[in-house]
Amino acid sequence: MNISIEMKENDQFTSVDISGEIDAYTAPKLRESLFHLSEKEGGTMVINLSGVSYMDSTGLGVFVGVYKNIRSNNGQLYLQGLSARLMRLFEITGLSNIMDISSKNEGEVR
């Protein structure tokens, strides 16, 4: 089970590209990588999931925690590049009604 996390950041914007599988084995690494970034006051995080081939409920839990932390610090979280399978997972859980999710890749730090 592998996961790759690539980050680019500037003062208030963080772009994260994730590829591989997000499950009980890789979720702790993902959480560790993202959580400290979610504590920036007023920051924006764009997470590209186009390279994610599988995600289970543990992965959803990571994104819920990051979302809550970003929102509590007056920031914004955008998830993009979701496959139909991942989008369905967010829809079934109702998270697609709460989080800003797009199937397109729209922004990154340059």
CATH at 94: 3.30.750.24
* pLDDT on residue 108: 45
Looking at the domain assignment, is residue 107 inside a domain?
Answer: no
Looking at the domain assignment, is residue 109 inside a domain?
Answer: no
Looking at the domain assignment, is residue 78 inside a domain?
Answer: yes
Q: Can you give the pTM of this predicted structure?
A: 0.89
* pLDDT on residue 48: 97
Number of domains comprising the chain: 1
Split at pLDDT 50, 70, 90, the class of 105 is low
Residue 104 has pLDDT above 90, yes or no: no
Q: Which residues fall within 8 angstroms of residue 70, CB to CB, at 6 or more apart?
A: 38, 43, 45, 76, 77
Average pLDDT, the chain: 91
CA distance 88 to 86: 5
Residue 25: give the domain boundaries.
3-102
Looking at the domain assignment, is residue 110 inside a domain?
Answer: no
Residue 4 has pLDDT above 70, yes or no: yes
